[in-house]
């Protein structure tokens, strides 16, 4: 299925889908032992009613499975939507450097992508810094990564196990890969918060990719659940 590139090396790929906009409608109608075979104007009115009135359980009967490749700092923010998420039906499986020793990749902001500390908040970011200063930080980060990768490879070559050798790798910028399977409601819960202007820009970029992929499968549900 479709894949959308994000940041410098990342992506979101839609792996599998179960259901359509008709799925939550039929889940709601089962209370009256009724079922629609084709999506009609009447079904759209019911779907809009469910979304508007906060009747979210029918939206848990449609699912999407995504493969995500993102820096660890994005993955750990995303993970919050799996922990304690019984109401949204999420599942998460992530690659582990206990078992794999593939070439590590890291997110490196370009010179014009470094952001300043905000003036009126303890978190988030403010305006971009100058490209002159940004160039220096990009070079400094790349040098730090190269040194860490050298130490990692030395440890592996010396026979250190992968689960300990990974301690030499910088964590937050390192790319990790995972499968995220979630209900339609779970997708919308994630998007409603991570598309907001005060969300970290990097995870906003991933949320925009998820939105584009999900809207192609559930256009009417997404339009109404995200109002």
Instruction: Identify the helix (H) or strand (E) that includes residue 130.
Output: none
Q: What are φ and ψ of residue 196, in 5° steps? A: -65, 150
Name the active-site residue from 29, 60, 150, 194: 194
Tokens of 144: 């730090």
Tokens of 91: 């599942």
Q: Where are the alpha helices (DSSP H) in 166-200?
A: 184-194
SS3 at position 122: coil
Name residues whose C-beta falls within 8 Å of residue 110's C-beta, 6 or more positions apart in sequence.
8, 134, 138
Q: How far apart are CA 3 and CA 18, in angstroms?
A: 18
Asked about 194 being catalytic, the answer comes back as: yes
Q: Let me know: does 208 contact 8? Beta carbons within 8 Å.
A: no
> Tokens 């010396």 — which residue?
158
**What residues are labeled active site?**
194
């Amino acid at each position: 299925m479709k894949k959308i590139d994000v940041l410098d090396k990342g992506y979101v790929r839609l792996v599998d889908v179960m259901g359509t906009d008709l799925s939550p409608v039929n889940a709601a109608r089962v209370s009256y032992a009724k079922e629609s075979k084709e999506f009609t104007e009447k079904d759209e009115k019911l779907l809009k009613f469910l979304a508007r009135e906060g009747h979210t359980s029918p939206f848990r009967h449609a699912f999407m499975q995504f493969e995500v490749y993102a820096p660890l700092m994005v993955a750990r923010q995303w993970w919050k939507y799996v922990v304690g998420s019984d109401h949204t039906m999420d599942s998460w499986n992530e690659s582990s450097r206990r078992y794999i020793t593939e070439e590590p990749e890291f997110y490196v902001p370009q010179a014009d992508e470094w952001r300043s500390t905000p003036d009126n908040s303890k978190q988030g970011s403010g305006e971009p810094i100058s490209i002159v200063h940004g160039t220096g930080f990009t070079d400094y980060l790349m040098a730090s990564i190269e040194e860490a990768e050298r130490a990692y490879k030395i440890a592996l070559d010396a026979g250190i196990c992968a689960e300990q050798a990974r301690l030499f790798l910088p964590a937050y910028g390192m790319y990790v890969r995972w499968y995220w399977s979630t209900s339609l409601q779970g997708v919308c819960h994630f998007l409603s918060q991570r598309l907001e202007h005060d969300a970290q820009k990097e995870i906003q970029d991933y949320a925009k990719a998820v939105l584009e992929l999900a809207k192609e499968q559930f256009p009417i549900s997404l339009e109404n659940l995200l109002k």
